[in-house]
């Protein structure tokens, strides 16, 4: 059974690129581009891995992650956070929010894929 | 026949007696039980030093020569005592409250503590008094000669009589005049001795008078008949001279240094003036009572050519009344010695205070603190001054040879010292009197006196050459000393009095009116003129024990009980009576003042001690010094306050600067983070798709083309972002240079429309314009203005969410400016977003439109540089922006 990835990202071109890379590797990819409704979407979709952008319209990736971690169903959900603001400070904030993996944009396709794969195998 | 030896013995005995009197008086004063020393009677008698040997011997001589004129000499002071007692009261009050030590000190204090004035008055006093002292020495010598002529062995002695007398007087004066530096400059011993001498000379004169009237003339009526028969009876009063000399003697009574000394400086209690105002004229009357009878009888009895000045001695002698003659001699001796002693004290105070001490202080560079060292110097300088003054008198006597009639010297001296009168009276009654005025008046009066009376008084040819006396200075007739300005035939004394007073008063008033007093002068002037408002009734010295207790109380308050008690005990032990309170000796007061000064400052300490000791009110000088100290302290504390305020201001500025830096740093971080995001986002797409294309074996040609296009678009977006960033940076730094050109507004809008819609797929946005209104000539940077228009049009194109997007561009020309509105038919910008849309990266819409959010920020920068403004226009349906360009840049098209 193919593994399920949910991608929350607002840049259309980046959505297209990540979707292409993961689909090609056999993943089922769902996308969502609004921060405000992201948490609901996660609960509805129940993905195996969540890929989360930081700067989203409506609500930041950190806030979304914190909300997910407070919820028992999603507190163990593997989350890969992508951010265009690649400063140390951002990484620390992500870690405090309870992230599993963190990658700065732009990323290498293969590394990103490896990261998603490793997150999906407990 | 009384031999010279007995005479010398009598003299020495008399002097010894005076020593004892003075010594006893000093002792009782020191013990504080000498209340009788300060009686009005002693004060009145001490005033009798006005009656010198000149009046004792000279009055008879004067009567013999010029009849009743001698009365004027008594009349002047009597008038002052009776009619001008209020002037005297004011002088005494000022003298006490201001602690005046001499005439020079009075004038100097009044006119702003001018030492120059003090020196001037001192010189005037010395010059004016020296002949007078010489006169006393001469009278003593003459009186010796009266007794001593037959003894040739005495020649050697009487040649030196004047010298011995001078030395003796100097020694007496030094001993009793400079025993201590009493703060009040009072000399109880001397005053007592003078009072005794006053009694002696009155008794002597009265005795001779009684002898002459009842012993020689045989009664009162016979005497009167004799007077009628003598030439004196036919004497005619010369009105001018009479009035002039009366005025002169009145002036001298106030101005003579020795009179000032006894009247003001030695005064213990101003209420004594009340008694003196009737008692002293009475004394003078008694002194003058028998002058005419003695003169008349003398003229009758004595051989022609005998000196009438000596009738008081020679008449009793010729009648074999040696005892009476001896008494008379002692009377004359008393008159002479008392005058010399007091004059020497008064002059030495002036010379020492105003000439010697300033010079000494200047050379030693010492401060004005009265340390023991300085006290010693003051005493030495006083003593030397006394010796100097008496010595000067002797030298004058020796040089002048004693040839001139006594009365003339006296009047010369009077006229000189009278020059002080305008400055003195003006100073205590007229606030407008100034230092310059006083100096001008004194100089003018003194100069004229010197030239017309003093120098000629040495005799023609002595100092002023004969030619000058005859023809005037430089051969100018109107400058002849005895006929100044062509006024001839006047009595020399009156002539001098008239001219010197005229110039003195004139210069004094004129210079006072045209000059401005210094602040200190103004203050002192007010203090002197309004002395009765400023000081309570001056009280006399209170007992020593009471003072000590008061001092103790004060010292305890300031120093603390233990320290004060220790100090007092130490001082009492030093004074030789441990266990008791120390006496208020100058040494003790000084020590106390020093101790207090450490706590409250020198001036305050001085004022406090002064207030208790002698009960004197605080002088202006003290108050000013206290004020100075207070001012210094206040200045110091306000300086501290200012410094502390400065510090806290600096601290606040630093805090503000720090907060601003922090804010700026946060803003910079946010901006960099923003830029990083804006740059990384397109780069992410580019990298991802380029990697996909690189290993893209499974990609179809359409996908390949599609991904290549994405890469291209993102690259363009990246480029545009960098362009915008650089543009904004340049605009914000103000480094942009405007390229002003003329052009039509419609052309600019055309270009902008074309450029804004170039990359969109087909003309989706419809733009409504009014080309007629747009036909305006602009004089501005057309490219920059176009950039703003492009941004606004493309924003409408990107963000207008209407089904049929439309943009209205409306142009309105007002008096001051050109207004261009861009209004679309979308849903507009939310109210909260309107405040931030002009900020950098303020992209508020959810949709992806490719912009980095710098467009409006750049537009605002541009319009601001062009001198206009861009605002969000409220009250419209869709998004509405208003661009305002100053009218100076828009011209109506031709």
Altogether, the residues listed in chain A come to a count of 122
Identify the weakest region by mean pLDDT among B528-537, B629-638, B730-739, B782-791. Answer: B528-537
Residue B676 touches partner A, C-beta closer than 8 Å: yes
The CB density around residue B480, as the number of other CB atoms within 10 Å, is 20
Nearest-CA neighbor of B423 among B434, B435, B438?
B438
DSSP B271: T
Altogether, the residues listed in chain B come to a count of 894
By the 10 Å C-beta count (0-12 exposed, 13-18 middle, 19+ buried), B437 is classed as: buried
Q: Is A42 helix (H, G, I), strand (E, B) or coil?
A: helix
Is residue B893 predicted with pLDDT exceeding 80? no
Nearest-CA neighbor of B49 among B286, B318, B263?
B263
Residue-level pLDDT at B611: 64
Mean pLDDT of B761-774: 79
Question: Within 13 Å of residue B819, how many CA atoms lie on the same side as its CB?
Answer: 13
Residue A20 touches partner B, C-beta closer than 8 Å: yes
pLDDT in tens, B173-190: 787 777 655 444 567 778
- Residues of chain B with pLDDT > 70: what percent? 79
Mean pLDDT, rounded, of chain B: 77
Residue A101 touches partner B, C-beta closer than 8 Å: no
Q: Check CB contact under 8 Å for B691 and A109.
A: yes
Nearest-CA neighbor of B136 among B404, B385, B336?
B336
Residue-level pLDDT at B519: 65
| Spatial CB neighbours of B365, under 8 Å, sequence gap ≥ 6 | none
Is residue B358 predicted with pLDDT exceeding 90? no
Phi, psi of B817 (to 5 degrees): -150, 175
Check the CA dihedral B466-B467-B473-B479 and report its sign.
Answer: positive
| Spatial CB neighbours of A20, under 8 Å, sequence gap ≥ 6 | B692
- Residues of chain B with pLDDT > 90: what percent? 3
Is B545:B478 a contact under the CB 8 Å cutoff? no
Residue B714 touches partner A, C-beta closer than 8 Å: yes
DSSP B868: -
CA B532 to chain centre: 22
Residue A63 touches partner B, C-beta closer than 8 Å: no
By the 10 Å C-beta count (0-12 exposed, 13-18 middle, 19+ buried), B576 is classed as: exposed
Q: Does residue A106 have a cis peptide bond before it, meaning omega lies within 30 degrees of 0?
A: yes
SS (H, E, C) B659-683: HHHHHHHHHHHHHHHHHHHHHHHHH
Phi, psi of B871 (to 5 degrees): -135, 160
- Cα three-residue angle B682-B688-B694, rounded to 5 degrees: 130
The strand pair at B869-872 and B890-892 is best described as: unpaired
- Confidence band, pLDDT 50/70/90 cuts, at residue B539: very low
Mean pLDDT of B332-349: 83
Is B97:B531 a contact under the CB 8 Å cutoff? yes
Going along chain A from its start, the domains and CATH numbers come out as 15-120 (3.40.50.2300)
Longest dimension (CA), chain B: 176
Residue at token pair 């004038």 = B107
pLDDT in tens, B363-409: 765 444 444 455 677 778 888 888 888 888 888 877 766 555 555 67
pLDDT in tens, B407-421: 567 778 888 888 888
Residue A46 touches partner B, C-beta closer than 8 Å: no
Question: What does the buried/exposed string (b/e) look like for B370-398 if buried means 16 or more CB atoms within 10 Å of the residue's CB?
Answer: beeebeebbbebbbbbbbbbbbbbbebbe
Q: Which residues pair with B769 in a beta bridge?
A: B809
Residues of chain A with C-beta less than 8 angstroms from the C-beta of B687: 106-108
Q: Give the Cα separation of B584 and B568 in Å (integer).
A: 11
By the 10 Å C-beta count (0-12 exposed, 13-18 middle, 19+ buried), B364 is classed as: exposed
Winning range, highest mean pLDDT, from A81-90, B185-194, B251-260, B458-467: B251-260
Please give the order of strands across the beta sheet that includes B890-892: B740-744, B776-781, B890-892
Nearest-CA neighbor of B131 among B355, B419, B450, B402?
B402
The CB density around residue B566, as the number of other CB atoms within 10 Å, is 12
Q: Check CB contact under 8 Å for A108 and B686.
A: no
Going along chain B from its start, the domains and CATH numbers come out as 4-434+516-534 (1.20.1730.10), 544-618 (no CATH), 624-716 (1.10.287.130), 737-892 (3.30.565.10)
Is residue B557 predicted with pLDDT exceeding 90? no
Residue-level pLDDT at A86: 66
* Residues of chain B numbered 683-702 and touching chain A (CB < 8 Å): 683-689, 691-692, 698
| Spatial CB neighbours of B708, under 8 Å, sequence gap ≥ 6 | B689, B693
Is B343:B257 a contact under the CB 8 Å cutoff? yes
Query: Does the interface ipTM go beyond 0.90?
Result: yes
Residue A77's alpha-carbon distances to A10, A104, B412, B571, B868, in angstroms, are 21, 20, 129, 99, 55
Residue-level pLDDT at B465: 65
User: Between A and B, how many CB-CB pairs are < 8 A?
Assistant: 66
Check the CA dihedral B552-B555-B560-B562 and report its sign.
Answer: negative
Residue at token pair 């009075």 = B106
Q: Check CB contact under 8 Å for B673 and A85.
A: yes
The strand pair at B806-813 and B817-824 is best described as: antiparallel
- CA distance to partner chain A, nearest, from residue B713 (Å): 10
Q: Give the Cα separation of B120 and B514 in Å (integer).
A: 21
Is B420:B104 a contact under the CB 8 Å cutoff? no
Nearest-CA neighbor of B34 among B662, B687, B497, B541?
B541
Q: Check CB contact under 8 Å for A87 and B714.
A: no
H or E stretch at B179: none
pLDDT in tens, chain A (122 residues): 678 999 999 888 999 999 999 998 889 999 998 888 989 999 998 999 999 998 888 888 899 999 999 988 888 899 999 888 767 778 888 888 889 998 988 899 999 999 999 998 86
Is B379:B178 a contact under the CB 8 Å cutoff? yes
Q: Check CB contact under 8 Å for B848 and A106.
A: no
């Amino acid at each position: 059974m193919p593994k399920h990835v949910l991608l929350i990202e607002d840049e259309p071109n980046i959505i297209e690129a990540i979707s292409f890379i993961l689909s090609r590797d056999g993943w089922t990819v769902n996308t969502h581009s609004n921060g405000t409704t992201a948490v609901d979407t996660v609960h509805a979709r129940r993905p195996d891995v969540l890929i989360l952008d930081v700067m989203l319209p409506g609500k930041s990736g950190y806030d979304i992650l914190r909300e997910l971690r407070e919820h028992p169903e999603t507190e163990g959900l593997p989350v890969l956070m992508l951010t265009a603001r690649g400063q140390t400070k951002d990484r620390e904030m992500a870690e405090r929010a309870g992230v599993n993996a963190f990658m700065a944009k732009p990323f290498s396709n293969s590394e990103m894929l490896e990261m998603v794969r490793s997150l999906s195998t407990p | 026949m009384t031999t010279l030896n007995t005479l010398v013995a009598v003299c020495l005995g008399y002097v010894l007696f005076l020593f004892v009197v003075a010594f006893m008086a000093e002792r009782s004063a020191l013990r504080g039980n000498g209340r009788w020393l300060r009686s009005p009677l002693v004060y009145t008698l001490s005033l009798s030093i006005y009656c010198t040997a000149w009046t004792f011997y000279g009055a008879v001589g004067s009567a013999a020569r010029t009849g009743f004129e001698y009365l004027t000499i008594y009349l002047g002071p009597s008038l002052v005592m009776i009619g001008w007692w209020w002037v005297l009261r004011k002088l005494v009050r000022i003298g006490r409250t201001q602690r005046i030590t001499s005439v020079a000190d009075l004038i100097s204090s009044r006119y702003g503590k001018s030492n120059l004035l003090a020196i001037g008055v001192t010189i005037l006093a010395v010059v004016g008094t020296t002949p007078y002292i010489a006169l006393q020495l001469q009278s003593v010598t003459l009186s010796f000669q009266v007794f001593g002529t037959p003894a040739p062995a005495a020649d050697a002695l009487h040649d030196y009589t004047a010298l011995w007398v001078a030395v003796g007087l100097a020694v007496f004066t030094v001993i009793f005049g400079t025993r201590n530096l009493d703060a009040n400059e009072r000399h109880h011993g001397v005053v007592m001795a003078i009072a005794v001498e006053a009694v002696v000379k009155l008794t002597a004169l009265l005795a001779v008078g009684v002898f002459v009237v009842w012993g020689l003339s045989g009664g009162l009526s016979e005497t009167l008949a004799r007077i009628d028969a003598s030439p004196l009876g036919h004497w005619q009063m010369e009105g001018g001279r009479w009035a002039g000399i009366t005025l002169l003697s009145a002036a001298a009574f106030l101005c003579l240094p020795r009179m000032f000394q006894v009247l003001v400086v030695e005064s213990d209690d101003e209420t004594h003036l009340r008694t003196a105002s009737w008692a002293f004229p009475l004394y003078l009357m008694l002194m003058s009572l028998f002058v005419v009878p003695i003169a008349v009888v003398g003229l009758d009895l004595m051989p022609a050519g005998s000196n009438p000045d000596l009738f008081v001695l020679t008449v009793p002698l010729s009648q074999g009344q040696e005892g009476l003659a001896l008494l008379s001699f002692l009377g004359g001796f008393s008159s002479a010695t008392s005058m010399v002693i007091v004059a020497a004290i008064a002059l030495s105070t002036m010379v020492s205070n105003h000439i010697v001490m300033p010079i000494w202080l200047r050379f030693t560079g010492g401060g004005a603190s009265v340390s023991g060292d300085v006290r010693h110097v003051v005493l030495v300088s006083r003593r030397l001054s006394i010796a100097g003054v008496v010595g000067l008198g002797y030298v004058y006597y020796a040089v002048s040879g004693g040839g001139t009639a006594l009365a003339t010297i006296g009047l010369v001296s009077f006229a000189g010292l009278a020059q002080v009168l305008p400055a003195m009276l003006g100073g205590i009654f007229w606030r407008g009197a100034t230092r310059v005025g006083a100096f001008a008046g004194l100089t003018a009066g003194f100069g004229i006196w010197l030239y017309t009376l003093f120098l000629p008084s040495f005799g023609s040819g002595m100092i002023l050459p004969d030619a000058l006396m005859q023809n005037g200075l430089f051969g100018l007739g109107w400058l002849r000393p005895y006929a100044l300005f062509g006024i001839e035939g006047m009595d020399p004394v009156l002539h001098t009095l008239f001219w010197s007073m005229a110039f003195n008063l004139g210069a004094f008033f004129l210079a006072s009116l045209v000059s401005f007093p210094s602040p200190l002068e103004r203050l002192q002037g007010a203090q002197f003129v309004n002395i009765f408002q400023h000081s309570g009734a001056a009280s006399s010295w209170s007992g020593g024990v009471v003072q000590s207790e008061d001092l103790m109380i004060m010292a305890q308050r300031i120093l603390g009980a233990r320290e004060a008690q220790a100090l007092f005990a130490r001082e009492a032990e030093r004074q030789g009576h441990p266990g008791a309170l120390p006496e208020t000796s100058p040494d003790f007061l000084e020590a106390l003042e020093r101790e207090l000064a450490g706590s409250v400052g020198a001036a305050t300490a001085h004022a406090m001690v002064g207030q208790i000791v002698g009960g004197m009110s605080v002088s202006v000088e003290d108050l000013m010094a206290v004020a100075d100290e207070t001012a210094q302290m206040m200045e110091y504390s306000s300086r501290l306050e200012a410094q502390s305020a400065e510090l806290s201001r600096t601290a606040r500025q630093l805090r503000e600067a720090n907060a601003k830096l922090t804010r700026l740093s946060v803003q910079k971080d946010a901006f960099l983070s923003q830029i990083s995001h804006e740059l990384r986002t397109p780069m992410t797409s580019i990298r991802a798709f380029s990697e996909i294309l690189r290993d893209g074996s499974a990609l179809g040609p359409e996908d390949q083309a599609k991904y290549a296009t994405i890469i291209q678009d993102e690259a363009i977006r990246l480029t545009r972002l960098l362009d915008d960033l650089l543009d904004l940076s340049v605009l914000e730094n103000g480094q942009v240079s405007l390229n002003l050109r003329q052009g039509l507004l419609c052309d600019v809008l055309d270009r902008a429309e074309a450029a804004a819609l170039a990359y969109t797929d087909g003309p989706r946005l419809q733009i409504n314009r009014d080309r007629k209104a747009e036909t305006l000539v602009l004089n501005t940077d057309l490219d920059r203005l176009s950039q703003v228009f492009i941004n606004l049009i493309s924003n409408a194109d990107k963000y207008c969410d209407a089904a049929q997007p439309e943009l209205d561009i409306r142009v309105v020309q007002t008096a001051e400016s050109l207004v261009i509105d861009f209004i679309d038919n979308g849903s507009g910008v939310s109210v909260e977003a309107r405040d931030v849309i002009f900020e950098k990266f303020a992209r508020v819409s959810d949709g992806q439109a490719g912009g980095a959010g710098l467009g409006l920020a750049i537009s605002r920068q541009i319009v601001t540089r062009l001198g206009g403004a861009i605002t969000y226009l409220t009250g419209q349906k869709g998004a509405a922006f208003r661009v305002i360009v100053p009218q100076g840049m828009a011209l109506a098209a031709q």
